[in-house]
Amino acid sequence: GVADLTAEDLGEELDTGKMVVQGHDRLGRPVLYMRPARENTRGHEGQIRNLVFALERAVALMPPGVEKWVMVIDYNGYSMFNAPPMKTSKETLDIFQSHYPERLGMALLV
């Protein structure tokens, strides 16, 4: 299950830093960085597990009283070549809507 997921379980999904939680904004919200150009795998299940791992990490890093995160999506170098499969993109949206509603405090697309 999600609670048992560790960085060791993700293997190469973590190699490129395509999705990391790093630091907090001035309101104490964890910052989740997504860099789709660094996509290094095509496996749907691994990508979804990586997403859930990062989201759960962001939740775990929320200080008391903070219930939202900041998401920075860096599209530098992004192309259809390194885009995730449509199935993965759709499931990503479903995960955000169904399991993390109202967690997004701010999104920045760069």
Q: What is the pLDDT of residues 15-38, one digit of tens each?
A: 777 889 999 999 999 999 998 888
Reported as a pLDDT band with limits 50, 70 and 90, residue 4 is confident
User: Are the beta carbons of 68 and 104 closer than 8 angstroms?
Assistant: yes
Count of structural domains, the chain: 1
pLDDT value of residue 2: 63
pLDDT value of residue 38: 81
CATH assignment of the domain containing 70: 3.40.525.10
pTM: 0.85
Number of residues that this document lists for the chain: 110
Q: Measured between alpha carbons, how far is residue 6 from residues 12, 13, 52, 70 in Å?
A: 13, 12, 11, 22
pLDDT value of residue 39: 77
**Per-residue tokens: 14:** 């973590």
User: What are the pLDDT digits (tens) for 71-100?
Assistant: 999 999 998 888 888 898 899 999 999 999
Question: Beta strands of 1-110 (E only): which ranges?
Answer: 19-24, 30-34, 69-73, 104-109
| Cα–Cα distance measured from residue 61 to residue 41, given in angstroms and rounded to the nearest whole number | 26
Eight-state DSSP code of residue 89: H
The range of the structural domain enclosing residue 14 comes to 2-109
| Cα–Cα distance measured from residue 27 to residue 66, given in angstroms and rounded to the nearest whole number | 8
